[in-house]
Amino acid sequence: MAELKTQRNDADVSRFLAAVPDAQKRADAEALMAIMERVTGETAAMWGGSIVGFGSYRYHYESGRSGDWMATGFSPRKAALTIYIMQGFSPHEDLMKRLGRYKTGRSCLYIKRLSDVDLAVLEELIARSYRYIRENYPDAEKAETPVKAARKTRR
C-alpha cells in the first residue's frame, strides 16, 4: 500500500510560519498555534510541508489501511486558514451556530481571518475534537489534558 505523503517531520514550525507572505495570515497562524498548544497541551510539529499539527493518532480502516495522523492542526493557506477538526462538525452544531463566518469541508474548517470568528467558541471546538481523538483512538499519543496544561501556563 502507498504511504501517505503528509507525515510528521522535523521541519521548523517557527521558520515555516515566519515565511507566510501575508502579514495578517502570518499573525493569525501564530495566534492559532498558541491557542492549539494551550488547548491540547501538545507541541506544534510540521506535517508535510504546509500543515502544523498537534499530537497524533493511529487510524485503521476496514479495508486494512492504517496510518498516523495529527489529532488537530492547521495550515495557513492562501485562500484561508484551514483548521483540521478530525471529529467533523455534526457533533458540534451548537458551537457552529455561534462560531461566526466560516466554511467547512469534511473535517476542514476554513476561516479567512481569526477576527471573523468567536475565539472562545473556536477554542471549545478544538478542545472537544481533541478530547474525542484522545478518548476514541487507543493508539493516540498521550499528552497532558488541556486542563493540566492550562494550569501549568498560569503559574
Q: Which tens digit of pLDDT belongs to each residue from 134-143? A: 898 876 654 4
Could you state, in order of their start, the residue ranges of all structural domains in the chain? 8-139
As beta bridge partners, residue 70 has 56
Q: Which CATH class is domain 8-139?
A: alpha beta
How far, in Å, CA of 100 to CA of 125, rounded? 13
Q: Report, as an integer, the average pLDDT of 3-7.
A: 69
Classify residue 126 as exposed, middle or buried by CB count within 10 Å of its CB (0-12, 13-18, 19+). buried
pLDDT value, residue 128: 97
* pLDDT tops 80 at residue 53: yes
Give, in order, the Cα–Cα distances in Å from 127 to each of 11, 54, 118: 25, 12, 14
The C-alpha cell at 120 is 472562545
pLDDT value, residue 155: 27
pLDDT value, residue 9: 81
What tens digit of pLDDT does each residue of 56-76 get? 887 777 787 777 778 999 999
Choose between 115 and 68: higher pLDDT. 115
* pLDDT tops 50 at residue 149: no
Average pLDDT, the chain: 86
Q: How far is CA 12 from the centre of its chain?
A: 17
Proportion of the chain above pLDDT 90, given as a percent: 66
pLDDT band at 131 (very low <50, low <70, confident <90, very high): very high
pLDDT value, residue 59: 75
